[in-house]
A and B are shown apart, each in its own frame.
Chain A
Amino acid sequence: MNILILLMPLAFGLGLTGLVAFFWCMRTGQFSDMDGPGWRILEDDDVGKEGG
């Protein structure tokens, strides 16, 4: 069971990373618009540049 000494901090570390990411998203205002970014991905204003 000594492996737990490695696994537990690892698990919590990952969890904390998630929490920190959540806080960062809140700070950069990503929760104010839930619809727009989904559509913004579909914009293909970079296609022309590649083709040229």
Chain B
Amino acid sequence: MAATQDLSIFVRHGEGGVAGMELAVDGIHCAGCMHKIERGLARQSGVLSARVNLALKRVTVEWTEGALRPEAVIAGLQSLGFKAYPFLPAEARDADAQEDKRLLRCLGVAGFASMNIMLLSVSVWSGNGGEISPVTRDFFHWLSALIALPTAAYAGRPFFESAIRALRAGGVNMDVPITLGIVLTLGMSVVETWNHAENAYFDGVAMLLFFLLIGRYLDQLMRRRTRDLAGNLAALKAETATRLGTDGATVVVPIAAIAPGDLVLVRPGERVSVDGIVEGGSSEIDQSLVTGETAPVAISAKGRVHAGTLNLSGTLTVRVEAAGSGTLLDEIDRLMAQAVESRSRYVKLSDRAARLYAPLVHATALATFLGWVAFGLAWQQALIIAITVLIITCPCALGLAIPAVQVVAASALFKHKVMLKQGDALERLAEIDTVVFDKTGTLTLPEPSLANRKAIDPAILEAAGTLAAASRHPLARPLALAAGEPRPPEGVQEHHGLGLSAIVDGTEMRLGSVAFCGAEREAWAVSAACPTASLIAWRRGERCAVFAVDQELRPDARASMQELRALGLDIVILSGDRESAVAPLACELGIAAFKAGQRPDEKLAELDRLASAGRKVLMVGDGLNDAPALAKAYVSISPISATHLAQASADIVFLGDELAPVAASIRIARKARALMVENLWFAVLYNAVAVPIAIAGFATPLVAAIAMSGSSIIVTLNALRASRPVAAPSEQAP
């Protein structure tokens, strides 16, 4: 039965009677797909324009108001062969997008200014070496001033604002010496020009702004790329709920359109997508995504359900409610608030460098000034030399050192299917010595699968699979998948709470609980082999079989554990599931340290204990019960199948079914951190060479220009090394 869909919440209503919608499209590979979509959609009547963004794999469709329903657009894309998922019209994304644009505008202005001023400066430098009339030189200097002053006022704003914020808070960050340097140098250059001097440092200021803005923009770019990818994935995972109207009609709506007080229908096999109270029906629910507990829990009227739990056997009608106090969700909220507050304020490498850097630079400049005055030089000359020292030490390379490595490392991580949400997560990841894993959904695959497949005769599997394909029960789904999704037979009868039956070729075939199929003997053998599995039985005449459905370990779990141990890390399992489910798995993976039956606050307590023992912990988890621990840990990773809250609390998210991304991220993070430190040392080295030259009074604008651009280029080239593949310890040559 096709339920009606209502996607009107996604439609953006523009002026001129134009309605529009943005969708993430699955299956765009190349330009050919782009042509197909644009042409195909344009042919639909009512559609005004369809434009594909090939880089982001999205399409923006516009149509005359009222001519089309949004569902028709999605159906149109489906008929072209693409699955499309709409986005909510972007309000939250706007603030970040505005910041991106502002930074890019500042970068553009700084670029224009530095190139044009350099045009003039090179003329002056070569003229200074030969013959240049003072009138021409002054003319060029004044032109440079004309360009440099407005540029600094416009493009320097991000730095000025940041410096003022830091000073107001009573501290110093990297932007304070930058601001000081810019302001003093501009002032000094104008005074020098007024006095018809040979050297003016306008090009130095413009170039400094240009390189520093590149560093800022790279930082922003990395975060934007992650945001865009995350936005697409969020749309692809978009959850819907079936709203029950007062007239009994059902409409499928997106979660965003559900309000408290609505009545929602949850069929067997569906995931509950709202928090609420059950009004009708009774069923069993699987709470593993919320508490980690894999044993089903019975629920009936007046019981509370959480978003993320799986409805197993019966249809439920749920009245949507915001979480009340005393509920699991409320407790998790409380723990989250605590965790975020008490999380140790990690000082980023760049801030640590700034703390040393700023006072040192200011002290050096001051000492230079006083030194030269004591030496007998006129105070104006001494001031000029001191300001030159300030501008030469200005952190071009320092501003690029870390963002450049972060951007390259983030790209390398994307290739390994890892999304970095926080830039400084890379530095923290490099420092860890312990990894804490959750079990359900993290070490095991999020969806259950057939555990004893090898022991089953393929003919039986196929026969059972046909009947399983007719059921939505979560135990039947893996069976149908394993059999290759065959077509169900005609005339399947459902026996509530027991199973399915159908007459095939004259004999009755049954699929369901062990008792329904009379398969106790076989069941006993299978449950001895797979103690933690749920059993589903099949009978056809005399032949019967029992299938074990269990959450299997991720395909490379064992290999990943070995890799992590080879990297020198300790591994611990903290699970919300019962001991009998966790122990065999820990044994199989060779992990001695594990704790079962952990509530969210117990997981936090364990993390505290490890932290106070001086360990730096990486937390890997996916459930709602892991969210506080993910927020509290030194650094955290979650798989893409995790609940929204877990993904929001984690620093890093990885895609796919394998655990290999965890070890790969740690290797890349270590390399990236090494490169960041190298870059910082290089910046120090450059200063160590340049500062004495400046103090001695030999630094002309030419020297400053060469030093700044040279150091920035070297730092950037060094950062590119982060993208070279890092071999796993097992692959490295002995």
CB-CB under 8 A from A31, the residues of chain B are 104
Q: B55, A34: Cβ atoms under 8 Å?
A: yes
Task: Indicate whether A35 sits within 8 Å of B55 (C-beta atoms), given known contacts A15-B112, A26-B104, A40-B34.
Answer: yes
Task: Indicate whether A32 sits within 8 Å of B133 (C-beta atoms), given known contacts A23-B105, A26-B101.
Answer: no
Interface residues in A36-52 (C-beta closer than 8 Å to B):
36, 39-40, 42-43, 45
Task: Indicate whether A15 sits within 8 Å of B34 (C-beta atoms), given known contacts A32-B53, A36-B55.
Answer: no
CB-CB under 8 A from B31, the residues of chain A are 36, 39-40, 42
Task: Indicate whether A33 sits within 8 Å of B55 (C-beta atoms), given known contacts A4-B136, A22-B108.
Answer: yes
CB-CB under 8 A from B112, the residues of chain A are 15-16, 18-19, 22
Q: A33, B53: Cβ atoms under 8 Å?
A: yes
CB-CB under 8 A from A43, the residues of chain B are 35
Q: B54, A15: Cβ atoms under 8 Å?
A: no
Cα(A35)–Cα(B54), bound, Å: 6
CB-CB under 8 A from B147, the residues of chain A are 12
CB-CB under 8 A from A18, the residues of chain B are 112
Q: Main SS of chain A's interface residues?
A: helix
Q: Is B258 an interface residue (CB 8 A)?
A: no
Cα(A36)–Cα(B358), bound, Å: 45
Measured CB to CB, the closest approach of chain A to B138, in angstroms, equals 12
Measured CB to CB, the closest approach of chain B to A49, in angstroms, equals 14
Interface residues in B154-185 (C-beta closer than 8 Å to A):
none
Task: Indicate whether A12 sits within 8 Å of B116 (C-beta atoms), given known contacts A4-B136, A35-B54, A36-B55.
Answer: yes
Cα(A42)–Cα(B55), bound, Å: 17
Q: B54, A36: Cβ atoms under 8 Å?
A: yes
CB-CB under 8 A from A12, the residues of chain B are 116, 143, 147
Q: Is A6 an interface residue (CB 8 A)?
A: no
Cα(A34)–Cα(B56), bound, Å: 10
Interface string of B112-138 (1 = CB under 8 A from A): 100110010000000000000100100
Q: A32, B55: Cβ atoms under 8 Å?
A: yes
Measured CB to CB, the closest approach of chain B to A1, in angstroms, equals 6
CB-CB under 8 A from B52, the residues of chain A are 36
Measured CB to CB, the closest approach of chain B to A40, in angstroms, equals 7
Q: Is A11 an interface residue (CB 8 A)?
A: yes
Measured CB to CB, the closest approach of chain B to A10, in angstroms, equals 12
Measured CB to CB, the closest approach of chain B to A39, in angstroms, equals 3
The residue in chain A whose Cβ has the minimal distance to the Cβ of B146 is: A12
Measured CB to CB, the closest approach of chain A to B28, in angstroms, equals 10
Q: Residue B54 contacts which of A4, A22, A33 (CB distance < 8 angstroms)? A: A33
Task: Indicate whether A15 sits within 8 Å of B115 (C-beta atoms), given known contacts A33-B54, A45-B39.
Answer: yes
Cα(A5)–Cα(B143), bound, Å: 11
Q: Residue A26 contacts which of B105, B119, B133, B143 (CB distance < 8 angstroms)? A: B105
Measured CB to CB, the closest approach of chain A to B101, in angstroms, equals 6
CB-CB under 8 A from B35, the residues of chain A are 39, 43
Q: Is B109 an interface residue (CB 8 A)?
A: yes
Cα(A1)–Cα(B139), bound, Å: 11
CB-CB under 8 A from B119, the residues of chain A are 11
Q: A4, B105: Cβ atoms under 8 Å?
A: no
22 A-B contact pairs sorted by A residue (CB < 8 Å): A1-B133, A11-B116, A12-B147, A15-B112, A19-B108, A19-B112, A22-B108, A22-B112, A23-B105, A31-B104, A32-B55, A32-B56, A33-B53, A33-B55, A33-B56, A36-B34, A36-B52, A36-B55, A39-B31, A39-B54, A40-B31, A42-B31
The 10 lowest CB-CB distance pairs between A and B, nearest first, are A39-B31, A36-B54, A35-B54, A33-B53, A19-B112, A22-B108, A35-B55, A33-B55, A15-B116, A34-B55
Which residues of A does B touch, CB under 8 Å? 1, 4, 8, 11-12, 15-16, 18-19, 22-23, 26, 31-36, 39-40, 42-43, 45
Which residues of B does A touch, CB under 8 Å? 31, 34-35, 39, 52-56, 101, 104-105, 108-109, 112, 115-116, 119, 133, 136, 139, 143, 147
